[in-house]
Structures are given as structure tokens and as C-alpha cells.
Chains A and B, each alone.
Chain A
Amino acid sequence: MTAAPVAIPEAPTPPGGVRRWLNSPVGAQVTAAVVFIGAWQLLTLIAPRVPGPIEVMQFLFVEITGGSHGGIVRGQFFEHFAITLQRFSLGLFFGFVSGLLVGILIGSSTLARALLNDTVLVLLTMPAFVWAFLTTMWFGITWQAPVLTVAFASFPFVAINVAQGVRAIAPELRHMSTAFEVGRWKHFRHLTVPAVAGYIFAGLRFAIIIGWNGILLSEWFSGQAGVGFRTRYWFDANRYRGFVGWVIVFIVFIVLVDRVILNRLQARAFRWRDQKEVDFIEIQEQQVGL
């Protein structure tokens, strides 16, 4: 297999250049995007109920600029997005902090692990929509329901990861630091924190992905505002372009946060890590859904 040419000419005017560009990785990706969006547009010709890409973009433009959707229904983008973001951060905070505490407990004590591990596993197995239902039954249609859904759904993922990190601290290093009488603080600062930081980070990523899905579900079933509510609003109104538009907003947000911000941060903070550990975390990530 030969390596694909990486040179990407700015202006692919000569015929050879166009060909080469089309075969380059970027060219292939652009072709893919064009083909899939084209196929989507073609699909609307066969099935008129499916909203096409142009229609969806028009909808999003009106929704974001706050224009009229026809009649008195106006676009409301930032109102709903801000509310969801608030609830999401609050729930994430609770889920993350409690997961961190329980994770450290499970990781550092055998007794705590035996006591709590199964409970965390059970929580891990529960689908997020169950939390949406339960919190709605407990609190009704209030802001607590989505916040707690995010917290409950993200908690076990943080706990499991942190516990794994604490347990993975190399025993040789631990013994050595005891043998050389390294102080408690120094031990914590120079051994525990760097060893566990990667796992905490991975836990945070899972928490964000899982929590973001959870809040959509919770707001869908019991929201009076927010992204999930607005998505359902358009779905119930039989305007699928609104539904698809909001789903796109939803996906773009999580992809941006995860792939652009968190990925870069992680790559920068953990340059020194060995590849095996990174692979392990990556595989786990796939398991969760991103």
C-alpha cells in the first residue's frame, strides 16, 4: 500500500492537481461530505416528508436569528440553549464531584470496593431515560429533574474511571516513595495526582457525553424549556425540519466540546503518557458512545 499524497494545493487548477487533491485524505473527506449531503437532498425527492439539508439550514437560520417561522412563532435559540447549558453544568458538577469522591474511596480501600463496586455497576447499566422518568416522578416538571438526570447518569462513569486510576498507581513507585520517606503531601502531589489525572480527565469526558445525552432525554420527557423541550416542540408540531435542526445543534455542540476542546487539552496535558494507557482509555470511550 502506498502512502496517499499529502500535498494539498491551494488552487487545484491543473488537471493533475485536482486528481491528486481528490485522492488526498482531505479530498476524500470533502467528497464524502458532498456525496452524503447530496444523497440526503436526493432522499427528499423520493420521500417528501424528510426535511432536506437546505430546508434544515433555513430553519436554523430563522431559529438562531429569532425571525418568524410564519405567524407568531418566533425563533428561540439562545433562550433554550442557555437554560440547558445552566442545568447541564450544575448536574455535571454534582455528578463529577460525587463520582470523584466515590471513585477515590473504591480505588484506595478494598473494603469500600467490595461494598460499593456492585452498586456502581448497577448504576452504570441503567439507561439514562430511566433517570429522566424517575426524576420526573419525584420532582414533576421542574428544573431539578434534568439536573439530577445529568448527575445520576454521569456519576458512575466518573467513579469507575477514578477508581481504576487510583488502583493503577504503580505499587513499585508507592513502595519506593515510602522507602525513601517521601512526605505525605509530596507523595500526593507528585505521585497520586499525576497518576490519576488522566483517568479523572477521561471520567470527565464520559460525564460530559453521557450527561449531554441525559439532559436531552430529560428535557424531552419533562421539560418546560431547553434544547430537549424545543426539539420535542417541533416534533410534536409535525415540523421535522425543526427536529432535525435541533438535533444537529445538539451534535455539533458535543462534537466541538469533545473533539476540539477536550481532545486538545488532553493531548497537551498528557504528552508524557505511554501509548498503552491512552489506548485503554480510548477503547473505554468507544464503549460509552463516542
Chain B
Amino acid sequence: MTDTVAESIQELDQAQVLRTAAGSRRRRYLAVLLGWLVFIGLWWLLSLWVDSEARLPSPGRVFQEIVIILQGDFWTQFWASIVRVVAGFLAAVLIGTPVGFFMGRSKYWGNFLQSPVIVAGSIPGLTYAVMAFVVFGISFWGPVLAVGLIAMPYVAINVAEGVRGVDRRLVEMSTAYGRNETQVFRHVTVPSVLPFVFAGVRLSFSLAWKVGTLTEVFGSSKGIGFQIRRNYQLFNMPGVIAWVLLFVLFMLLIERFILVRLERRLFRWRQWEREA
């Protein structure tokens, strides 16, 4: 399933590259820039019309707030959130990989674990956030638990898919040439399943971040979610919008520049394999 997506994304990319080649590219950048200007302009006009900082502050006011945050404790807060989210993802991979491995390896365990995993995936984020708060109170582990629980089903489902997709012929050939089980596992199973672990993380990335932040709203004394809530409780609208914008920018940057590149690199061998 995941191959087809990678494939269609690749096709889309190629079509886009052809369409926007050379000359029209500059025009497109201009239009995107114009889009931002229009967006900010409309926001500014709306804020003039509303004329209340508590309801809709002007873009300039929010920008000031952003500058203040950037000069202040921006990195401490973001770092706190990042560490938790990464720890949560680690937990999700550590639990989800073996679960997915069982699901993919045997039909029985696949059926057995299917419903629990689906149910775990459809529980609303608020539940995990509240549960983490009840179990741990205000602590570091709450967001970690919430992120782990949210991301785990995705990792498990993807790993199961990956294990089912391991090339049987490769396994047979390795056994025929006298490789033992450990060697097959190390050199055939692991490399073909690894991209699926990553795909699970990638698929759940944005959702898990959102739930992690929500958990910080409930039970944390640090992090982006906590800052948004603090400003909300102080009825400081510029502060809320500034923190939200920083959060959004940060997420988009991580997605575009880190995850997409990593993904391309990890899936490259599959592409090569298909072409050969």
C-alpha cells in the first residue's frame, strides 16, 4: 500500500517539475508571495474593523509578540516539547514494532490484534491527554505516554504491512544458500521492514504532535501547549496567536525539510529495486 503512495507522490512531483520548469517558476513564487501578502493584508483590515486587541490583534502586534518570544524562552519551551515528542515516538516504535511484527507474521495474531489496534487508533486525542494527566499528574511522562499511545497503532499497522511484504523469494534463496534464521532476519527482514517503521512515524507525526501539545495544555509546566494555555487563561490574544503561529511554522519546517528528505532517502532503494 505504501509503495503505491510513494509512487503516486513521485509521479505528482515529476508532473509538477515538468509543468513549472524554468520560466513559470518565478511567476509561481511571486504568486505564493502575493498569497501571503493578501492573507496578511486581509487579516490587517479585519483587525482594523474589529478594533479590539483582545479579539483580533493586528499582524504587527502579533509579530512584536513573536519577536519577544524569540528573544525570550522560545528555545527552552520548544526543546521541552521536542524531547517529549521524540521520547513518545521512541516508545511507540519500541512497542509498535513487535506488535506489528506478530501481526504480519501470523494470520492468527493479525486477526487477534486487529480490532484492539483499530480501537486504539480511533480514541480521541483528548482521552489520551486526560488519561496521561490522571496517571502522571503534571509531569514529563504525560505527553510521552500520550504521544506513544497515539503513534503506536500507526507503527504497528505499517510494520505488519511491511512484514507481509517481505520478498518470499529472497528469504527462500537465503535459506537455500544456507543462511541461518538470524542472518535472514538481520539482512532481509530488518532492511525491508525499516522503511515501514519510518512510514508509521511519518503518518502519525502531525497527529502525535498535536496530541502531545494538547497533553501539555492539561498537565505540564513547560512546552508549547502549556504556553498556549497560559496565554489563553491570561486572555492574551496576541500571545496565543504568536505561539500558535510559531508552532505551525515549526511543524511545517520539520515536515518539509527533515521528514520528506529522510523519507526519500529511506525509500530510495525500493525505487531503485523497482526500476532494475
A25-B112 Cα distance, complex, nearest whole Å: 8
Could you say which of B93-101, B116-124, B187-195, B267-275 contacts chain A?
B116-124
A247-B130 Cα distance, complex, nearest whole Å: 11
**Given contacts A111-B31, A137-B235, A125 and B251 within 8 Å (CB-CB):** yes
- Chain B residues with CB under 8 Å of A240's CB are 134
Chain B's nearest CB lies how many Å from the CB of A43?
A: 12
Within 8 A of A (CB), among B52-110: 54-55, 106-109
Within 8 A of B (CB), among A44-88: none
Contact sample, A vs B, 13 pairs, CB 8 Å cutoff: A29-B114, A32-B113, A32-B114, A116-B35, A119-B39, A127-B247, A130-B228, A134-B241, A216-B126, A243-B130, A247-B123, A255-B122, A279-B1
Interface bits A260-290 vs B (CB < 8 Å: 1, else 0): 0000000000000000100110110011111
Contact of A251 among B35, B122, B154, B252 (CB under 8 A): B122
- Chain A residues with CB under 8 Å of B220's CB are none
A235 B114 Cβ-Cβ under 8 A: no
Q: Apart from A136-B232, A216-B124, A286-B203, what 16 extra A-B contacts exist at CB < 8 Å? A: A4-B107, A23-B108, A29-B112, A32-B111, A110-B28, A111-B31, A114-B32, A115-B32, A117-B35, A126-B248, A133-B228, A133-B229, A213-B126, A240-B134, A251-B119, A251-B122
A251-B126 Cα distance, complex, nearest whole Å: 12
Could you say which of B139-147, B172-180, B209-217, B258-266 contacts chain A?
B209-217
**B132 CB within 8 Å of chain A:** no
| Nearest neighbor of B133 in chain A, beta-carbon distance | A235
Residues of B within 8 A of A (CB): 1-2, 4-5, 8, 28, 31-32, 34-36, 38-39, 54-55, 106-109, 111-116, 119, 121-127, 130, 134, 154, 157, 203-204, 206-207, 210, 213-214, 217, 228-229, 232, 235, 237, 240-241, 244, 247-248, 251-252
A115 B35 Cβ-Cβ under 8 A: yes
**Given contacts A121-B252, A137-B235, A288-B207, A114 and B130 within 8 Å (CB-CB):** no
- Chain A residues with CB under 8 Å of B213's CB are 127, 129
- Chain A residues with CB under 8 Å of B32's CB are 114-115, 117-118
A287 B123 Cβ-Cβ under 8 A: no
- Chain A residues with CB under 8 Å of B229's CB are 133
- Chain A residues with CB under 8 Å of B217's CB are 129
- Chain B residues with CB under 8 Å of A173's CB are none
A114 B31 Cβ-Cβ under 8 A: yes
- Chain B residues with CB under 8 Å of A32's CB are 111-116
A29 B35 Cβ-Cβ under 8 A: no
Contact of A287 among B31, B130, B203 (CB under 8 A): B203
Within 8 A of B (CB), among A166-186: none
Contact of B108 among A28, A128, A243, A276 (CB under 8 A): A28
A205-B211 Cα distance, complex, nearest whole Å: 20
Contact of B34 among A1, A3, A115, A121 (CB under 8 A): A115
- Chain A residues with CB under 8 Å of B35's CB are 114-119
A250-B116 Cα distance, complex, nearest whole Å: 17
Contact of B1 among A1, A127, A134, A282 (CB under 8 A): A282
A28-B116 Cα distance, complex, nearest whole Å: 11
A35-B121 Cα distance, complex, nearest whole Å: 19
| Nearest neighbor of B8 in chain A, beta-carbon distance | A280
A276 B8 Cβ-Cβ under 8 A: yes
B125 A213 Cβ-Cβ under 8 A: yes
A213-B55 Cα distance, complex, nearest whole Å: 25
A276 B113 Cβ-Cβ under 8 A: no
- Chain A residues with CB under 8 Å of B248's CB are 122, 125-126
**A33 CB within 8 Å of chain B:** yes
Contact of A28 among B54, B111, B204 (CB under 8 A): B111
A81-B213 Cα distance, complex, nearest whole Å: 27
| Nearest neighbor of A28 in chain B, beta-carbon distance | B111
- Chain B residues with CB under 8 Å of A136's CB are 232
- Chain A residues with CB under 8 Å of B134's CB are 240
A136-B124 Cα distance, complex, nearest whole Å: 21
B121 A289 Cβ-Cβ under 8 A: yes
Contact of B244 among A3, A130, A217, A258 (CB under 8 A): A130
A251 B124 Cβ-Cβ under 8 A: yes
- Chain B residues with CB under 8 Å of A125's CB are 206, 247-248, 251-252
A137 B55 Cβ-Cβ under 8 A: yes
